[in-house]
Amino acid sequence: MDVKEKFLELLGAAPGDAGVSNETLQRKFPGESYAALLPVINELLAENRLELLKEEGKQDLTYRLRDKAQAEKLSELTNEQLLVLQVVERAENAGVWLRDIKNATSMQQQTLNKALKVLESRKLVKTVKSVQQKTKKLYMAYDLVPTREVSGGPWYTDQEFDHEFVGAIKKIVVKYVQSVQTSTLDEIHGALERSGIATVPLSVADVKLVIDTLLCDSKLEEFTAVTAASKASRYKIAKPAVDVAWVGEVPAGCVPEAPGRRYCADGRHAPASCQYLQKWLEQDDDDELECTGVRRS
């Protein structure tokens, strides 16, 4: 097997999109064989079959093999278009703003716009909108899925928060917990998956956000279930909130004084000196206290 065949085999065996680092190549091609590899790398770069990657803060290069179909698309691009594509690809699924592409390439706006138009038409680059800045477009490689920071995750549809969808999720969670009395986060996550309500996958972290909202709304309660082997958080339906409607029957602690009229004996509006508050405290539940110093809801 010659150097080129061995190099292509090594690249093809790399897991996922990891590629092969230059350090690995030096181990696999020791001595003179590494020197013989350099012309092969240059040849593949010229054919657009090879992609060079470099992690931020690291000096070592990584080589990743492109498939032949993509290489053919790239072979028809100009140097300007290739440069723009490299900037977009480096941003990965976080995307990159037009201003940042312009700064990285130092291109005139007209040339940059033309390059991006060509890349979009050949389905090498696409534009996406960010939920954080809806008026601006991000550019990213065509086959990548935007990060949750960009797309908003499952809770957003067309860059708008989907209140109806979130409300439906919350109802299912409450109904499920009510039916089983107590449940763990994983069990609730499984129930939502079985319901089929979500058209996109919901992670455990997504479900935890919904549960946290229900906790704040006093729809669920969290408690710790202790067993001999472990401790785990579980959730149950929250107890009904205490009825505080009676507060509206309490005489006002501070009532605006009407001209020529006093509500308390000493003319001051303070609970400590209000005769009506004392009467209210002493009355039976069925009694009605009518006085000018009582504000009723």
Reported as a single tens digit per residue, the pLDDT across 76-97 is 888 888 889 988 988 888 889 9
Comparison of pLDDT for 171 and 153, the residue scoring more: 171
Comparison of pLDDT for 262 and 37, the residue scoring more: 37
Residue 294 CA to residue 297 CA, distance in Å, equals 10
Q: How many residues does the chain have?
A: 297
E-strand stretches of 84-143: 96-97, 125-129, 137-141
The model's confidence at residue 30, banded by pLDDT at 50, 70 and 90, is: confident
pLDDT at 243: 65
Q: What residue has token string 């935007």?
A: 146
Model-wide pTM > 0.75: no
pLDDT at 265: 52
Comparison of pLDDT for 285 and 271, the residue scoring more: 271
Comparison of pLDDT for 227 and 39, the residue scoring more: 39
Whether the per-residue pLDDT at 41 is higher than 80: the answer is yes
Residue 245 CA to residue 15 CA, distance in Å, equals 64
Percent of the chain with pLDDT over 70: 77
Comparison of pLDDT for 296 and 181, the residue scoring more: 181
pLDDT at 86: 84
The model's confidence at residue 296, banded by pLDDT at 50, 70 and 90, is: very low
The C-alpha torsion from 93 through 94 and 100 to 102, rounded to 10°, is 20
The model's confidence at residue 11, banded by pLDDT at 50, 70 and 90, is: confident
pLDDT at 250: 62
In order of their start, the domains of the chain are 3-69 (1.10.10.10), 77-151 (1.10.10.10), 161-237 (1.10.10.10), 246-282 (no CATH)
Q: CA dist 139 to 107, 119, 127, 130, Å?
A: 16, 10, 5, 10
Laid out side by side, the sheet with 61-65 consists of 20-21, 61-65, 50-54
Residue 170 CA to residue 188 CA, distance in Å, equals 11
Query: Of 143, 140, 115, 141, whose CA–CA distance to 129 is shortest?
Result: 140
Residue 114 CA to residue 84 CA, distance in Å, equals 11
pLDDT at 61: 80
Where do the H-state alpha helices sit in 142-260?
A: 148-151, 163-180, 185-195, 204-216
The model's confidence at residue 34, banded by pLDDT at 50, 70 and 90, is: confident
Residue 56 CA to residue 104 CA, distance in Å, equals 15
Task: Please give the structure tokens belonging to residue 25.
Answer: 């190549």
Cβ neighbours, 10 Å, residue 204: 11
Q: How far is CA 84 from the centre of its chain?
A: 28
- Mean pLDDT computed over 111-122: 92
Q: What are phi and psi of 125, to 5 degrees?
A: -135, 150
Whether the per-residue pLDDT at 71 is higher than 70: the answer is yes
Reported as a single tens digit per residue, the pLDDT across 222-280 is 998 877 777 888 999 998 766 666 666 665 544 555 554 455 555 555 666 666 667 76
Per the CB < 8 A criterion, the answer to whether 64 and 50 are in contact is: yes
pLDDT at 90: 83
pLDDT at 295: 43
